Structure formats: structure tokens, C-alpha cells
């Protein structure tokens, strides 16, 4: 499901601020969600960050390039926020727009 960065950030902050929103998403107990991603989809955590009171993680399957973004709430519920394919790691990121070169 394609997601724009702005929509992703808004979703993460909504999840962190309003746990009731998580009930409308695909969520489950963290251990079960992580087991699904690792065992069934062969995805591993490649990045992690804090968004308010939530933890956002990027899971990637190295062989296929499939990826999933999850958000784990303080109550231990983990929600699938976005997923896709064609993941590519960037070693030398481009400078931000307007940044000096």
C-alpha cells in the first residue's frame, strides 16, 4: 500500500496520540506480529525510531526487497502502518532540499 512521507508521519503521530486509532488498523500483540514478519515474510528490522510515545520500525526482507513499517504503542500493540516492495538501502543519502552542497 503506497504511502507518502507526510501521510506516514501524520499516521505515526495519530497512533502515538490516540491509541483508539490503532483498533481500526491491522494490529496485534507485538510478539505475534514480529513472528509473522520474521518467520512468514523473512523480514528483519533495518531501522527504528521514536515517534512520541510509539516506536516505529522498518522491517525488510533482504532477498525479495519487500518491506513493512510497524508502529508499537506503549501498551504493547504493534500495528502494520505500510508495506511495499523494492526496498533499496541508500549508503550516500542525497542532501535535503535547500541544503548547502
pLDDT, one tens digit per residue, over 33-92 is 999 999 999 999 999 999 999 999 999 999 999 999 999 999 999 999 999 999 988 887
Taking a C-beta distance cutoff of 8 angstroms, is the pair 67, 59 a contact? Answer: yes
Choose among 59, 58, 54: nearest CA to 77: 54
Band of the pLDDT at 96, cuts 50, 70, 90?
confident
All 3 cell numbers of residue 7? 501521510
Comparing 12 with 87, which gets the higher pLDDT? 87
Sequence-separated (6 or more) residues with CB below 8 Å from residue 64: 42, 85
Residue 99 has pLDDT above 90, yes or no: no
Amino acid at each position: 500500500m503506497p504511502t507518502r512521507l507526510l501521510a506516514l508521519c501524520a499516521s505515526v503521530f495519530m497512533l502515538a496520540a490516540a491509541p483508539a486509532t490503532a483498533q481500526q488498523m491491522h494490529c496485534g500483540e507485538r510478539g505475534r506480529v514480529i513472528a509473522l514478519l520474521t518467520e512468514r515474510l523473512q523480514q528483519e528490522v533495518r531501522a527504528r525510531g521514536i515517534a512520541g510515545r510509539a516506536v516505529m520500525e522498518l522491517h525488510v526482507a533482504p532477498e525479495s526487497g519487500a518491506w513493512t513499517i510497524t508502529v508499537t504503542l506503549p501498551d504493547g500493540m504493534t500495528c502494520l502502518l505500510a508495506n511495499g516492495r523494492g526496498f533499496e538501502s541508500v549508503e550516500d543519502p542525497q542532501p535535503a532540499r535547500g541544503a548547502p552542497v
